[in-house]
Amino acid sequence: MASINPESLPAPIVTTDKCIIRPYTLSDAEPMAAAANFPEISLYMRNRFPSPYTLENSKFWIDFSMKATPMVNFGIFTLDGDFAGGIGLTPGQDVEYRTWEIGYWVAKHHWGKGIATSALKAFSAWAFKEFPELLKLEAGVFEGNGASMKVLEKANYVREGVRRKAICKKGKVLDQVLFGLLREDLEGP
C-alpha cells in the first residue's frame, strides 16, 4: 500500500467489518491499475472496462467518478487501506429511472475474503438511503460467473431471470442472469 496520510483521504460513505467504501482520490490510480489489470477480472465486465487496464485508464475513471453529480462510483478498500476494488451505480433512464444498475469488482488478491458480499450489502443499503426515489437495484451477471452470483444471493438479491444469448464477450455468446433487490427487501413489509 502506498504511504498516504489517512487524514487526506475522503470520509468513507460505508464502513463494514471487512471493508470501507469511499470516494476515489488520484492517489488510488496506481493501486487501482495494478488490481484491475487481470484478464480474470475483465472477463466478466462490460467492454468499457479495459483490458489491459493501464494507469491512464484508472486516472480517467477516477477523474470521471470524482466529477460526477451525483457521485455514484467509489473505491472499495480493506480496513487497513489496501485498494480492493470498485463499486458503483448507473441510474436508469426513461420509464426505468427508479431502477438503477449496480456493479462491482474485487481485486484478485482479495477474492474469497467476503469483501464483495460485505461491500454489496452495505452499499445497497447506502444507495436506498441516499436516493429516496430509488425503488430497485439490479445486476446482470454473465453466464459462468458463479462467484458473482453467489455474492448477489448472499446480499439478498433475488435471481429474476435469464436473458438468453444477450452477451457477446470476446466473440463468445453468453446468457446474462438478472438479479434484483427492492427497497422493501431491505426495509421489510
Question: Do the beta carbons of residue 93 and residue 83 sit within 8 Å?
Answer: no
pLDDT tens for the chain, 189 residues: list them. 444 555 588 999 999 999 999 999 999 999 999 999 999 999 999 989 999 999 999 999 999 999 999 999 999 999 999 999 999 999 999 999 999 999 999 999 999 999 999 999 999 999 999 999 999 999 999 999 999 999 999 999 999 999 999 999 999 999 999 999 999 998 765
DSSP 157: P
Round to whole Å and give the CA distance between 37 and 32: 8
Distances (CA, A) of 47 to 12, 34, 55, 138: 29, 18, 17, 19
The pLDDT score that the predictor gives to residue 189 is 56
- Give residue 186's pLDDT: 85
Residue 123, classed as helix, strand or coil, is: helix
pTM value is 0.93
